[in-house]
Chains A and B, each alone.
Chain A
Amino acid sequence: MYEIPVGSLLRQLGLGTLETLKLLPVCIGLTLALGTLIGALHTLRLPLLNQIITAYVFVMRGVPPLIVLLIVFFVANIADAFLAAIIGLSLYHTAYISEVVRGGIMAMPRGQFEAAHSLGLSTFQTLRKVIFPQIWYQTLPSIAGQYILLAKDTSLVSVVGMQDVMRIGKQLMQVTANPFIVYFFIGVFYYLICTSLQQVSIRVEDGMRKRYARGVTR
């Protein structure tokens, strides 16, 4: 067993964290785009599509993210670790985001849809110009919460072979045999990521409040 200087330990864990951090913006972008699309489609109640979406959400809600990652990796046979991690995490979290978006759309007063339709707006225009600008403000806390969970779930991606902070931690632990110090620092890194996300959400919410609060009375 070797003693590794704390500086070196931190540097290696930091590099692993950077790998993890590369996942986040891609996953957030993907889940937001797909979750919005699927959530909106779900509210249209199209015959076959509705059943497919319902089944998808049901399955994702019923299965732990670790299993989804493993299935993507082994069953779908996606060998690239980074790609497998992105697909697995996005597949899982898109389901949750789509439900938040669907809830936001359904919470809109019917009169908003009727007024937009009575002006001759298409369903797509109604969603884009009237409904979505209003739901972001209300759903932001739920969406931010979901992305904090997503950040935490990135701690699972070593199972598909990513050289992320958890994998590096495991390797370091075998060298140092000091799990406390290794996992303590990993905890610190995750804490920083999650609280930063929280800060971003608070900032965005403040910005939206300044822009919309005059208009949206709730």
Chain B
Amino acid sequence: MSAEEPVSEGVLLDVRALRIAFAGAFASTSANTQPLLLAVDGVGFQVAAGETLALLGESGCGKSASALGLLRLLPAAGRMVGGEVRFEGRDLLQLPEAEMRTVRGGGMAMIFQEPATSLNPVLTVGHQVGEVLERHLGLTGRAANERSLELLTAVGIADPARRLGEYPFQLSGGMKQRVMIAVALAGNPRLLIADEPTTALDVTIQAQILELLRSLQAERAMGMLLITHDLGVVAQMATRVGVMYAGEIVEEAPRDDFFSSPRHPYTQKLFAALPDLAQRGGRLETIPGQVPALAEMPTGCRFAARCAHAWQLCRQQSPEWREVAVGHRVRCHLYSEAGGGHSPGDGGVPTGAAELSATIATTARQRAPEPTLLVVDDLRVHFPIRRGILQRTVGYVRAVDGVSLALARGRTLALVGESGCGKTTVGKAILQLIMASGGSVRLLGQELGGQSRSALRPLRRRMQMIFQDPFASLNPRLSVGEIIGEGMHALGMVGKAEQGRAAAITAVLQQVGLDAAATDRYPHEFSGGQRQRIAIARALAVQPDLVICDEPTSALDVSVQAQILNLLGTLQDDLGLAYLFITHNFAVVDHLAHEVAVMYLGRIVERGTVDEVLRSPSHPYTRALLSAVPSPRLAMHPRSQPEYIRLPGEIPSPANPPAGCHFNPRCRQATAVCRERYPETSTLTTTHTVNCHLYAPDQVNSQVGVSVE
């Protein structure tokens, strides 16, 4: 964006050539002498009243730094080194700090990603909302109290008078984010900056919060700057979209244009890397290489090194903005006069080669299922609640309450559900990392429950786990070789002989696509995706038959997620691994799984093949869950969009589940019988079962056809 461009009517925020730098790693007292690394380089955009600009990008692209920079709230190491931020005509970067404080929370407010940590734990909700009212509106006492009540009501909090006196820990995650929104709205801001506002929330809660944000924005005609990595959220919320890569905006377009014809090769790759756009079981498009480090930004186009269409010019000269359609601008040499001959192809859809490999892989996955590897029968994990002087048990948290599963070699079973439904506990109980309270777990026909530690040891080789966060799950003080070798040694796979061990480690590293040189390096030297590869290598090192994957890609960016999913697919085909895939991400399920089990409050409510559960969901909970997922595909084919089923409330406590069917308080189709007894399992097909009174044998004839209108 050139500086001479005039400010158009209604523009609330006008950012031009914003440059934000961070001091090097050892910045504290001597920050001034450290080299500055540009994290945001020449970013410009506008937000008008009543519109939503979504800034889309992967982690580290500078989108959050840009947002914090607008409010001048960068962390200590950050510096604004250039540009202009005009908000309602004033350049914020020139304002004295005292005046800037009237803008923060007053003109512009911000909500953050993690509601659990963004509220002060020791102050009441009323205090945290009232603070803003006092600061910006001068309201205190009764007037402030009344306004706080209005605000809490406006953000959809039931019983607001009671909530005002409560502390954040007494609220659920969704409720905390509502309070955060109330805090942000308290100063009557004209612009709302939302930094990944729903990333930490479950899909049904995410749907509620996005709906709330949309309606509040419409009511108040606020401008909104939405920072996100989720194309689905963009599709639902944005008016316009800006794509950030390595500190620059590379493409900007109105939403519909953006989804129908993304132009920048990076944007096209992002779409292609989405699991639900690819053929199931096939290989996902990935972006080779990594985002360049801040210290070694290339002189030309920053995406050139990873771009399939790059040629000489791209590496030499940074591309200028080109307008390719009305309001649709892109920074790519492909669209300049010089780049006329290089067609990027129509983005979004995997190219021919990818489709071919997908077909091959799909055939491979449809091999006849092998004998059953894992049988879980009526598994229960109850945690006692203790009270009183003698710590007597007064009740149980029924985290897992009668779960049965079966998994064959070479197959993937996805266990899906919202947080708190007990899916991770199932995984841990299968591995015997926590004691089950009842039921049986049999691996290769051998009962695991009740075995001594030494008896379990040989069986541990057969089952391994991959965890969610590769940053937290690898010991930072051990080298990669030690991390991988430890398991082999502990389970007696290799002797102490250095040679055999080193060869085994190299072999397993190659299997996950890492170089043998990684052996002597430490986890912090690797990127998130590489670390997850190390975690997979660690699990594979002992040649397991069963791998329990607990949200293995939810901490990763989309393009990295695609690499990991591809790797898991390849390993399954090559080694015949069985995966128990614990996740809340339906796109991943659709891509990877053969069978799906949906959990709600410690029990499985529906199970079947992927097609049965995802294409013809039967349980009202499954339907609501599926409809709440914001899919970028919907924006491209608006007609296929099913109506969103609003799920009221949140998942109840497993210590005190509702009587009858656990789901009845949130279910639109609940009847008297649902409140009385838990439904039996109804068989729909040989593979598809559901626990819902709608499908009970005596009701089948009258009710099974009822649709969720």
- Asked if A and B are interacting partners, one says no
Residues of chain B having any CB pair with chain A under 8 Å: none
